[in-house]
A and B are shown apart, each in its own frame.
Chain A
Amino acid sequence: MGKDAGPEERPKWDNKAQYLLTCIGFAVGIGNVWRFPYLCQIYGGGAFLIPYLIALVFEGLPLLFLELAVGQRLRKGSVGVWKTINPVIGGVGIGCLIVSFLVGVFYNTILAWVLWYFFHSFQEPLPWSTCPLNESRTDYNLECKKSTPVNYFWYRETLNITPDIEISGSVEWGMVICLASAWCIVYICFIKGIDSMGKAVYVTSTFPYLVLTIFLIRALTLPGATDGLLYLFTPDWQTLKNPRVWLDAATQIFFSLSVAFGGLISFSSYNEEKNNCERDAVLVGVINSATSLYASIPVFSILGFKATTALNACKDENILALTNHFEFSDQNITLQNYDYWYEYLNTTYPGKFQSLSLRECDLQKLLKQVLTPSYSTGLAFIVFTEAVISMPGSQVWAVLFFVMLFSLGLSSMFGNIEGVLSPLNELKLLPRWIPKELTSAIICLISFLVALLFTLSSGNYWVEVFNGYVGSVPLLIIALFEIIGVIYFRGMKTFSDDIYIMTGKRPNIFWKACWMVISPLLLLVVFVAYVIVQAQTRPTYQAWNPDYEKFPETEQKLYPDWVFAIIILLCVVPVISIPLVALYQLLRACRTLASLRSPRRRSRLRFPVKR
């Protein structure tokens, strides 16, 4: 993009594939790999697909189509587009900018964690497979012994987490350099705007699929894989009666498609005008959901394998205890005849048997346990890394897995960064002589400095705060205003004409019905329900406290008041721009109107410059 004297030419995609890969990469993120399988499992397996697909068709696809169409037609970034439609809703673009910035800051921290694990995967044995020794070298480290080596590595050696969000601890220098690497990698991909990013997405968007396929093949051959898959896909139709399921399906689709960030609008604005964006939208939406489904198969196979390994370990422990206590000869009680012996000894010697207090080894319970109810971003790091230890050739699998996670996250980061840079350029906040390389560098630097907050010892708690509140409520509000803005400010007729110009046919009744009624209604219901659910209980978080009496369980703590205030701020600040800008524009319009009507100024009629 040259800085000529003439009007700045808009960058262009090299080919259609780049555009599609970028959109798909933006939509497909780390959440597709772990959030969807988790939801699928807790909401009754195969039955969850029904609300999920309904939400996709009635909420996800219309929103996607809307954003892509608007960006492609008006050929501006998220701020310019809304200003063009009507200056009153120009605040929506600024909201997108703030949300993209905040999400980008914490999302890259997750990528920094992935990088940390990636760097540590080149060791033999893997550092999270054994406990370190304590100071006197007589036993394993106490914290590690009580929990598991994997938990210890995540909470202590990676995060060095404090027991409370109020205790900030110190900056972890290991995490700082990982964070710096993550931002440097983002920068190098974005250094020339979409020219460099367009080349990078060839790798970052396709590589995860390759790795997922490899994992699929490997995972299906692991013992216990079928148990995991059965557990996932066994539909439990009862859960459909629970309204929470529908709410979670709708929110999952919404956040998974990465709408309302502004990035998609920018990406589609680099297209040529006569491009079939309807097909693109359907393609991106369907591929996103298909990826979630495709990823859940290896995920659940591996989790089934993990549960089976845990079951065998549990049984082995019990066998040992029984053999020792009852003085049997070795190999008499095996994994195969374990159940027979269990029953026999329980009935014949109940007193002795009870005194042993054996652990219960139940596969279903272990499968449930493997996906702990308290979902957190660390789930991928704990659950997967533990599974990887038991697989032969663990280093290879660990490296592959973390590179896949990094690619998934990186391609989503591109969308976030684009959602920040493109509005910034349009708001003309920076002087024009600054080259775009420098702008990207400044944004990456500022984001890095803000993200240093997350490298504190209490950083993980803050990531949870951002993840839970920035990436949820503001997006819903912005999406709602986007639909209202396009349908009611621009008008359905004008918008249909736009689409006719671009694709050659008008949107059919399905799209119209969705845009005018169904999607806004759905969004409103989801938003209200979401707020109600959140407001019912005071928000809590799970803290890792070694001094907790029920350790290694995480302790549930309430957020202190000042953190609660920050949460409110995070929800409000991105969307405050919408009413503020609307108010400002209205006042301006009123003032112009007043100046037109004022008798003194009648001689100097000053028409308002049409925007």
Chain B
Amino acid sequence: MIAYADFKIESLAYFSKKMPNHVRWVLQQIKSRIERLNALFRPVMHYNCSAHHEGTNMTEEASNISSDTAAYPWSKNEMFLFRAALAFAMRDYTNGEEFGVSDIHPCDETKRVSFWFVVTRPNTTDLVDKGTVEMAIKKSRNRINGAFLLTDQTLEFDGIYPTLAAPVSPDTPPWLIVFGVVMGAVSVGIIALLAYPLVQRKLKKNKDADDEDSDEETGVKTAEIGANDGIYNSTFSDDERFTQM
């Protein structure tokens, strides 16, 4: 077993020098408790991941910090879920190659809940190249997010940018509808205000034509017409203006 483990580590190191083919996965805004990676299906799980990425590990200092608010509870079960989701993504992308949970190998887990992982082909130890893994993740990103009830903003794959949702564009822009309503009301108002005095005048004329036979004092009539067609100016409200009949 040990020999097998040594071989795995070596081969990993060899591949990493040739082409970086692992993806770093960073979980944002998720609180973690440090869980040691327990023995998984293959005892070779304890990769020496520090060979593939630069930067020192800060977990030692950070381990003293206490956390106060509730956050995403990370555990090995969650890790299992992640591996299962990723296995599903690989299967989906490669159309049925039987990836299993054992083919996803996370390592270098930090308290941040960030870790690296590599994917191997089923039943072999060949590593899948980064491009394929990225495409698979991109395709099933929604499902992976959904498995953890997270979003693109809270679950980040370093280097894989989320494809943006297409904006909803309705057939008629809504602003034209509002414009139509407002302009319709205004036009109706204008026509009404312009037509109202004309209509009134016509009605008046008909009424006057009917009343022509009845005798009325012309003086009063003139006053009536004068009062209706203009602003009544009280300065001239002198009744003696008209000759008394």
B62: interface (CB < 8 Å):
yes
> Which residue of chain B has its CB nearest to the CB of A140?
B164
B239: interface (CB < 8 Å):
no
A54: interface (CB < 8 Å):
no
- Say how far B183's CB is from chain A's closest CB, in angstroms: 5
Q: Which residues 175-203 in A have Cβ within 8 Å of B in the complex?
A: 177-178, 181, 184-185, 187-188, 191-192, 196
User: In the complex the two chains form, what is the Cα distance from A130 to B177 in whole Å?
Assistant: 22
B175-212 to A contact mask, C-beta < 8 Å, 1/0: 11111001100110110011000000000000000000
Q: Which residues 94-129 in A have Cβ within 8 Å of B in the complex?
A: 115-116, 118-120, 122-123
Contact B231 A330 (CB under 8 A): no
Contact B62 A326 (CB under 8 A): yes
A151-192 to B contact mask, C-beta < 8 Å, 1/0: 000000000000000000000000001100100110110011
B interface majority secondary structure: loop
Contact B163 A137 (CB under 8 A): yes
Contact of B112 among A138, A323, A437 (CB under 8 A): A323
A327: interface (CB < 8 Å):
yes
Residues of B within 8 A of A329 (CB): 31-32, 62, 65, 67, 111-113
B229: interface (CB < 8 Å):
yes
- Given A191-B193, A328-B111, A437-B194; A178-B179 close (CB under 8 Å): yes
Number of contacts between A and B (CB, 8 Å)?
120
> Which residue of chain B has its CB nearest to the CB of A324?
B26
Contact B71 A330 (CB under 8 A): yes
Contact B28 A184 (CB under 8 A): no
A324-336 to B contact mask, C-beta < 8 Å, 1/0: 1011111110100
User: In the complex the two chains form, what is the Cα distance from A10 to B230 in whole Å?
Assistant: 10
- Given A1-B231, A133-B167; A122-B178 close (CB under 8 Å): yes
Residues of A within 8 A of B28 (CB): 320, 323-324, 330
Residues of A within 8 A of B62 (CB): 326-329, 332
B95: interface (CB < 8 Å):
no
Residues of A within 8 A of B113 (CB): 329-330
User: In the complex the two chains form, what is the Cα distance from A256 to B29 in whole Å?
Assistant: 51
- Say how far B101's CB is from chain A's closest CB, in angstroms: 25
- Say how far B50's CB is from chain A's closest CB, in angstroms: 13
Residues of B within 8 A of A504 (CB): none
B19: interface (CB < 8 Å):
no
Contact of B186 among A188, A192, A326 (CB under 8 A): A188
Contact B29 A331 (CB under 8 A): yes
User: In the complex the two chains form, what is the Cα distance from A144 to B181 in whole Å?
Assistant: 31
- Given A184-B183, A191-B193, A332-B67; A327-B114 close (CB under 8 Å): yes
- Which of B57, B72, B194 has the largest count of A CB atoms less than 10 A from its CB? B194
> Which residue of chain A has its CB nearest to the CB of B110?
A327
Contact of A133 among B110, B164, B174, B183 (CB under 8 A): B164
B216: interface (CB < 8 Å):
no
User: In the complex the two chains form, what is the Cα distance from A196 to B197 in whole Å?
Assistant: 13
- Say how far B222's CB is from chain A's closest CB, in angstroms: 11
> Which residue of chain A has its CB nearest to the CB of B170?
A123
- Say how far B135's CB is from chain A's closest CB, in angstroms: 14
Contact B67 A191 (CB under 8 A): no
> Which residue of chain A has its CB nearest to the CB of B32?
A329
Residues of A within 8 A of B230 (CB): 1-2, 4, 9
User: In the complex the two chains form, what is the Cα distance from A10 to B233 in whole Å?
Assistant: 8
Contact B112 A9 (CB under 8 A): no
Residues of B within 8 A of A11 (CB): 231
- Say how far A52's CB is from chain B's closest CB, in angstroms: 37
B245: interface (CB < 8 Å):
no
Contact-residue bracket for chain A: 35 or more
- Say how far B181's CB is from chain A's closest CB, in angstroms: 10
> Which residue of chain A has its CB nearest to the CB of B57?
A327
A12: interface (CB < 8 Å):
yes
B1-43 to A contact mask, C-beta < 8 Å, 1/0: 0000000000000000000000000111111100000000000
B215-244 to A contact mask, C-beta < 8 Å, 1/0: 000000000001001110100000000000
Contact B32 A330 (CB under 8 A): yes
A139: interface (CB < 8 Å):
yes
User: In the complex the two chains form, what is the Cα distance from A115 to B186 in whole Å?
Assistant: 14
B171: interface (CB < 8 Å):
no
Contact B31 A330 (CB under 8 A): yes
- Say how far A56's CB is from chain B's closest CB, in angstroms: 35
Contact A133 B166 (CB under 8 A): yes
B213: interface (CB < 8 Å):
no
Contact B30 A196 (CB under 8 A): no
A546: interface (CB < 8 Å):
no
B123: interface (CB < 8 Å):
no
Q: Which residues 1-43 in A have Cβ within 8 Å of B in the complex?
A: 1-2, 4, 9-12
Residues of A within 8 A of B175 (CB): 116, 119-120, 122-123
User: In the complex the two chains form, what is the Cα distance from A552 to B110 in whole Å?
Assistant: 38
Contact A9 B233 (CB under 8 A): yes
Q: Which residues 447-479 in A have Cβ within 8 Å of B in the complex?
A: none
- Given A2-B230, A11-B231, A328-B111; A185-B193 close (CB under 8 Å): no
B151: interface (CB < 8 Å):
no
Residues of B within 8 A of A184 (CB): 183, 186-187, 190
A132: interface (CB < 8 Å):
yes
Residues of B within 8 A of A122 (CB): 174-175, 177-178
- Say how far B210's CB is from chain A's closest CB, in angstroms: 23
Contact A327 B111 (CB under 8 A): yes
Residues of A within 8 A of B68 (CB): 331
User: In the complex the two chains form, what is the Cα distance from A191 to B189 in whole Å?
Assistant: 10
> Which residue of chain A has its CB nearest to the CB of B186?
A184
Contact A181 B186 (CB under 8 A): yes
Contact B65 A332 (CB under 8 A): yes
B59: interface (CB < 8 Å):
yes
Residues of B within 8 A of A123 (CB): 174-175
- Given A140-B164, A329-B32, A329-B67; A4-B111 close (CB under 8 Å): no
Residues of B within 8 A of A1 (CB): 230-231
Residues of A within 8 A of B29 (CB): 330-331
> Which residue of chain B has its CB nearest to the CB of A132?
B167
Residues of A within 8 A of B112 (CB): 323-324, 327-330
User: In the complex the two chains form, what is the Cα distance from A323 to B114 in whole Å?
Assistant: 11
B149: interface (CB < 8 Å):
no
Residues of A within 8 A of B174 (CB): 120, 122-123
- Say how far B19's CB is from chain A's closest CB, in angstroms: 25
Residues of B within 8 A of A2 (CB): 226, 229-231
- Say how far A321's CB is from chain B's closest CB, in angstroms: 11
> Which residue of chain A has its CB nearest to the CB of B177?
A122
User: In the complex the two chains form, what is the Cα distance from A11 to B231 in whole Å?
Assistant: 7
- Say how far B148's CB is from chain A's closest CB, in angstroms: 14
What residues of chain A have their CB less than 8 Å away from a CB belonging to chain B?
A: 1-2, 4, 9-12, 115-116, 118-120, 122-123, 130, 132-133, 137-140, 177-178, 181, 184-185, 187-188, 191-192, 196, 320, 323-324, 326-332, 334, 437
Given A1-B230, A122-B177, 16 more pairs with CB closer than 8 A: A9-B233, A12-B231, A119-B179, A140-B164, A177-B179, A181-B179, A181-B186, A191-B193, A191-B194, A320-B28, A323-B112, A327-B58, A328-B62, A330-B31, A331-B67, A331-B68
Sample 5 A-B pairs with CB under 8 A, ordered by A number.
Answer: A11-B231, A12-B231, A181-B182, A329-B111, A330-B72
Ranked nearest first, the 9 interchain pairs of A and B with the lowest CB-CB distance are A2-B230, A2-B229, A119-B175, A329-B111, A119-B178, A327-B112, A330-B31, A327-B110, A120-B175
What residues of chain B have their CB less than 8 Å away from a CB belonging to chain A?
A: 26-32, 57-59, 62, 65, 67-69, 71-72, 110-114, 161, 163-164, 166-167, 174-179, 182-183, 186-187, 189-190, 193-194, 226, 229-231, 233
